[in-house]
Amino acid sequence: MPHSRRYRSSERSSRGSYHERYRSRKHKRRRTRSRSSSSERDRRHRREDSYHVRSRSYDDHSADRRAYDRRYCDSYRRNDYSRERGDAYYEPDYRHSYEYRRSRDREGSYRSCKSSRRKHRRRRRRSRSFSRSSSQRSRQSSRRAKSVEDDDEGHLIYRVGDWLQERYEIISTLGEGTFGRVVQCMDHRRGGARVALKIIKNVEKYKEAARLEINVLEKINEKDPENTNLCVRMFDWFDYHGHMCISFELLGLSTFDFLKDNNYLPYPIHQVRHMAFQVCQAVKFLHDNKLTHTDLKPENILFVNSDYELSYNLEKKRDERSVKSTAIRVVDFGSATFDHEHHSTIVSTRHYRAPEVILELGWSQPCDVWSIGCIIFEYYVGFTLFQTHDNREHLAMMERILGPIPSRMVRKTRKQKYFYHGRLDWDENTSAGRYVRENCKPLRRYLTSEAEDHHRLFDLIESMLEYEPSKRVTLAEALKHPFFDMLGMEPSTKMWDSSRDISR
């Protein structure tokens, strides 16, 4: 995991320290209760780490259930939208009660300095014994402290209509992941603009990942103040009772969710062209600034507006959707890594993981290019190119689709257990071998048309799925590929004015 040195701004540290003092002084009851169950929660999160509900699938599972079963694919990639879990919620006036009591404490300490120690002790005994109003205030304060609560998994418990920071009014829940939840809010300091607020779980590893993401997003805002490079724009961030919260521009569905809702109907090739060009442009901007995204996938590419037109397919007897605008944004920079930082051994979600990552040969920006090649293929055919959870099977699929793994990579890898005498140790006569043989085929056999445009697309995909990272096409070269020559000639492609604030 990248080092935490990235999070070093003096302004952030002062803000963080204020919230730490605020929480430690006034939320001892709640924190003690959460610590009492911390061991159980840690065990639960260790189990979660092995299988991250498709948002961080860094695991190697067996392929007992076959990925080409759509029901299995849905359950693996699902994004549960859980709403209003639990009845407890924070009270907006809690902060005011805290300020009031703090001022009373200061006043009391000033008076006590003028009195004798004996009188001070008598006053304290009387107040403990007879002061009903003070005991009522303490009980009221305790209730208010308990009202800002987390559930068993560390999610903030909230309800629609609640306010955060006296600024963000929660309107609805947009989604949930292992990191936390995303809610739609009305930002009352921006004229009631609708924003997406990412509320991170009150769990240290997710909070640390959020701090790293904030650091990357601040660098992106600094390098691209006009928001022309198609990376999601961060408006604000803050710590709310142990939950890191990040405010973003409000976007539409992810390109995967739209595909799923459309019965996995592939995108038309002119839409694939525009979406692919934008992804290359956005990720090239990251690479130019010495960043690697490391977790590119259709779930992390969102439409700016996912409104669609509906038509009826007489042949298949079903409604089919066509997105009106293919303008996109790249999101989720929680795993983004600068060139000078520590590079984790395993990165990327399984289906989009480059061979150099699987073979632990070291990785850099070319691993993003491999992921983009897999994404473009998925847009074109409607399903994932490498649907597996096992390293050996993944390598076997690569060889079936792209040809043999280069001998230099085989010799250099520490993962010699996957090879025998310089070749992949794979038995095609097993059930797994038959599965790969029956469900995978050479890349060009996935063409749905023999038109020149389609062959150009697959030429681009082939150059992105080159085994050797040093031979893989760069994104600067990819943007000049002949497949993109027709981009400006297609009237149905709606280009997007990136500088426009779409949240209002």
Known catalytic residues are 295
Q: How far apart are CA 488 and CA 485, in angstroms?
A: 8
Scanning 2-93, the segments in alpha helix (DSSP H) are 10-26, 28-36, 38-49, 70-77
Residues forming beta bridges with residue 160, ordered by sequence position = none
Q: How far apart are CA 471 and CA 463, in angstroms?
A: 8
Residues forming beta bridges with residue 239, ordered by sequence position = 244
Select from 121, 139, 122, 173 the least CA-distant residue to 29: 139
Q: Return the residue matching tokens 């984790």.
A: 344
Residue 239 φ/ψ, nearest 5 degrees: -105, 120
User: CA of 489: how far to CAs of 277, 310, 326, in Å?
Assistant: 14, 24, 15
Any known ligand binding at 198? yes
* Strand, coil or helix: 231: strand
Q: Return the residue matching tokens 């921006």.
A: 190
Measured CA angle at 495 (ends 494, 499), to 5 deg:
135
* Strand, coil or helix: 240: strand
Q: How far apart are CA 71 and CA 371, in angstroms?
A: 24
Structural contact between residues 291 and 216, judged by C-beta atoms closer than 8 angstroms: yes
Sign of CA dihedral 206, 196, 253, 275: negative
Q: Are strands 337-338 and 291-292 parallel, antiparallel or unpaired?
A: antiparallel
- 125: which 2 tokens? 């005994």
187-195: long-range pairs with CB below 8 Å, 24+: 187/235, 187/247, 187/503, 190/235, 190/503, 190/504, 191/504, 193/501, 193/503, 193/504, 194/250, 194/503, 194/504, 195/168, 195/235, 195/247, 195/248, 195/249, 195/250, 195/503
Q: How far apart are CA 203 and CA 179, in angstroms?
A: 9
Supply the DSSP string of 23-34, one letter for each residue. HHHH-HHHHHHH
Length of the chain equals 504
Give the residue numbers of the binding site for ATP.
Answer: 198
Tell me the binding residues.
198
